[in-house]
Structure 1
């Protein structure tokens, strides 16, 4: 989409669909200028229709009305934002997503959006841009009807009408650019997640990462079976043993050009990349296997976030680590009862081959921590237990470094991705105790998400670490706001915000640091007092 800022009467701006977001209570006195102007042009019929249809601007409410040529736009769309007192930019993001979907159904290509008056400022602009881009997303490349309708209209031009008294500024321009970049990265990740498993194999995922890195100026290293063996990643090798598809080891690096910044400890992002999970010899039932193409959503989010991070240019390195493979049953597949030796040297008794993601992640976390990062985050569609606990739209967050966990949760709130902290309790550690190895890869049913997090914790040592279980939110079961059914790209926005927050924090630390005393010129005499 092409976005631009405009000022003045929204009802006179060029566009096929005029979008007016409203808070509860704004249909009467004190209505925003965009609504007043549109209602005046329609001789009071707009607010009259809203009253008749029961539109009260509650969250999730929408109303479309033909203008019959009385305004520049052919239709007006009212969007409910709910209570102003409880406003968060995510509400506006969801509403903008509904606007994009409405525009597609109406087959219009140009929109005029009257930005609401809020204290959010630049964050509101970013929310609208992201919501529209995310809401317009469709994955229909394999549908014959979509191929036949190549000329199907999608929104391509958006005019953002600034509220009265607000002028275009650098902050608003930057928010627009960032929102567009983040949404495009999330949609790129959604494409990877939505592709069928025969289209996105470990090799294809690695090539997608290579192409992305090249386009965004990132360094990438890709290894195969031999490199994994050299790194002695016994758990990774065990999981991939049953598949005919070659595994891939992916390392993407952003490094600042400034020599001093380049030497700072990096941030590490680790993404789970099981491109298809059959469960291995602990075979899943058919209905549990259908969506297992999405078991690489963590890696898609990490790779998408790296695209934006390359443009943000934080004052420290950022590395992404991904181990991509399939988990398949075969005569040479790893078996319940096997003992695998991790890169860290810990031995693991296999009690369930369908608890494979934590095995690959364990070796990847070990490798990531060897690069001595200041903090590490892993994203993984790890446990069905997390969906039982938190549902389809909330990410489970684990970690025992409070500062790092709180930073991630703050970043998620800013980004509009809901997360809930769950415990990493030593009380559950007995569930992973093995009689024949250092630990088991799977324990009892109860506390399954905590057990998985405890397993991963064994491989990070003292490095500040956060584990995000995205099993539910990685794949939406229905259309909602800017979401469509299928891959969501969850995690991209939070990772970007986390890097931005860390960059801001480091910048503040540098600004507050006392200046070093100037070196005395050679031969100069020291001054004395007295």
Structure 2
């Protein structure tokens, strides 16, 4: 998709579709609309309450004379005071999903009227949403049902000054890279499980890394035995497909700058093992590698944006199956850091593979560790399908991640990690058991992971809810969502600015 910026009058913009945003309850039409044939139509429809401007409302206007564009689409932006990156992303996704059902040579979008300081973030999010919205989950349909636009034109209300134009163009480029990263994560999740066995997925990740200039190292089963990854090997034992461990290294900051470790759960299909899931609960279990997919997408986006950060991704990849060598209830596994774990539920496998990955990450002395995992159904019970559970051992780190969530409109809620939750993880035969009691399952899972991070500042995101959508809606598709790619890129950009300030350099 070729994306360009123009300041042409709306009625002179040539495109298959021209999209105009409208705020809810605004007392006057956008300046770009004033004096055009669209102004009269909108005034009448607003008076009749056929158009309200509510968020993601779509109203096509066909056959309007006086416009170079073939058709017009009015998209609701909600209340003006609530317009932020999250709203902008959602609007972009909604309009793109509506228009991408057919191949379009060109689509133009009138930029909303916001102050210059906020404009780059709004534009980036809008572009991210448009790119994500033109990509659906139908990867294996015989005929594609979504089509990327040939050209996307963003129409400014007036010709921006040189400095402002540069900021806008940077925002457009950022939005395109981040939007494609979101789609990369979604595509990896939506890929059928037979096509992403651990070794095959690891090679696909290596190809992605090579294309972005990121160093990728893949460990096979033999190497994992040498490296004492008892949790990953234990979970993989029930599958005919061997496990893999992938290390992604992107270092673009000074050597002394802090390194962030991103750790991702990569269970390419989760049957539950001998603690077998019901069939209905397995239908979306190709998505149990969302954490790994998000890490891949974030590292790739950081590289393509040339962010001045040091970033290492650790991906533990396996299937959880029921073969004759599958781990059994009562088995004891020895993790990378030497801790022993009694397995009392083979469907609590994510924490076992993350234990090895976190232990290894700690050995490499990062400044901070963040892991993402579709870890517990209990987190969905607690927070629903749209909000991730956030846990951590460092208040400042948790607050930084939450601040990035606020900037992007993605939602995470901090949950407790009190020491008394560890009591339920005590085992009579090993250092730990892999499940606690009936209550607070998301917390006990996080408390288990905490035993493998030592004193390193650490955040755990339980993304079981927002990682997947069962239903189709105007501003999202069924399937993988690519959640928290946008948030973590934003977090890295902020971290880069902090590091640049401490080093006396610039990130621009």
Q: Do the two structures share a fold, i.e. TM-score over 0.5?
A: yes
- Aligned-residue offset at 1:382: 0.4
> 5 Å matches for 1:378-527?
378-511=371-504
User: Highest Rg: 1 or 2?
Assistant: 1
**CA distance in 2 between partners of 1:338 and 1:441 (Å):** 11
Match of 2:326 in 1: 333
> 5 Å matches for 1:50-199?
50-52=46-48, 54-105=50-101, 107-119=103-115, 120-146=118-144, 154-164=148-158, 166-167=160-161, 169-199=165-195
Partner SS for 2:452: coil
Deviations 1:358-388 (A, max 9, x none): 0000100000111100001000000011111
Match of 1:3 in 2: 3
Match of 1:359 in 2: 352
Q: Is residue 46–residue 52 contact of structure 2 (8 Å, CA) maintained in 1? A: yes
Shift of the 499–105 alpha-carbon distance from structure 1 to 2, 3 Å rule, reads same
**CA distance in 2 between partners of 1:232 and 1:43 (Å):** 69
**CA distance in 1 between partners of 2:284 and 2:404 (Å):** 28
1:200 and 2:196 equivalent?
A: yes
> 5 Å matches for 1:281-296?
281-296=274-289
Shift of the 43–189 alpha-carbon distance from structure 1 to 2, 3 Å rule, reads closer
Q: Is residue 391–residue 415 contact of structure 2 (8 Å, CA) maintained in 1? A: yes
Shift of the 20–246 alpha-carbon distance from structure 1 to 2, 3 Å rule, reads same
Q: Is residue 474–residue 489 contact of structure 1 (8 Å, CA) maintained in 2? A: yes
Q: Is residue 134–residue 482 contact of structure 1 (8 Å, CA) maintained in 2? A: no
Q: Is residue 56–residue 475 contact of structure 2 (8 Å, CA) maintained in 1? A: no
Match of 1:309 in 2: 302
Task: Extract unaligned runs of 5+ from structure 2.
Answer: none
Q: Is residue 9–residue 33 contact of structure 1 (8 Å, CA) maintained in 2? A: no
Shift of the 63–250 alpha-carbon distance from structure 1 to 2, 3 Å rule, reads same
Shift of the 510–284 alpha-carbon distance from structure 1 to 2, 3 Å rule, reads same
Match of 2:22 in 1: 22
1:45 and 2:41 equivalent?
A: yes
Q: Is residue 393–residue 418 contact of structure 1 (8 Å, CA) maintained in 2? A: yes
TM-score normalised over the length of structure 1: 0.91
- Aligned-residue offset at 1:208: 1.1
Deviations 1:134-180 (A, max 9, x none): 1111232322343xx8xx75422111111236445221111111110
TM-score normalised over the length of structure 2: 0.95
Q: Is residue 11–residue 18 contact of structure 1 (8 Å, CA) maintained in 2? A: no
Match of 2:214 in 1: 218
Q: Is residue 265–residue 372 contact of structure 1 (8 Å, CA) maintained in 2? A: no
Deviations 1:504-523 (A, max 9, x none): 101111229xxxxxxxxxxx
- Aligned-residue offset at 1:502: 0.9
- Aligned-residue offset at 1:207: 0.9
**CA distance in 2 between partners of 1:98 and 1:141 (Å):** 20
Give the counterpart of 1:346 among 323, 339, 348: 339
Deviations 1:430-455 (A, max 9, x none): 11111111111011121000000000
Superposition RMSD in Å: 1.7
**CA distance in 2 between partners of 1:255 and 1:52 (Å):** 57
**CA distance in 2 between partners of 1:418 and 1:43 (Å):** 37
Match of 1:31 in 2: 29
Partner SS for 1:419: strand
- Aligned-residue offset at 1:73: 1.3
Deviations 1:193-213 (A, max 9, x none): 001110111012101111011
Count of aligned pairs: 501
- Aligned-residue offset at 1:43: 7.4
Shift of the 475–331 alpha-carbon distance from structure 1 to 2, 3 Å rule, reads same
Q: Is residue 67–residue 73 contact of structure 1 (8 Å, CA) maintained in 2? A: no
Partner SS for 1:20: strand
Match of 1:524 in 2: none
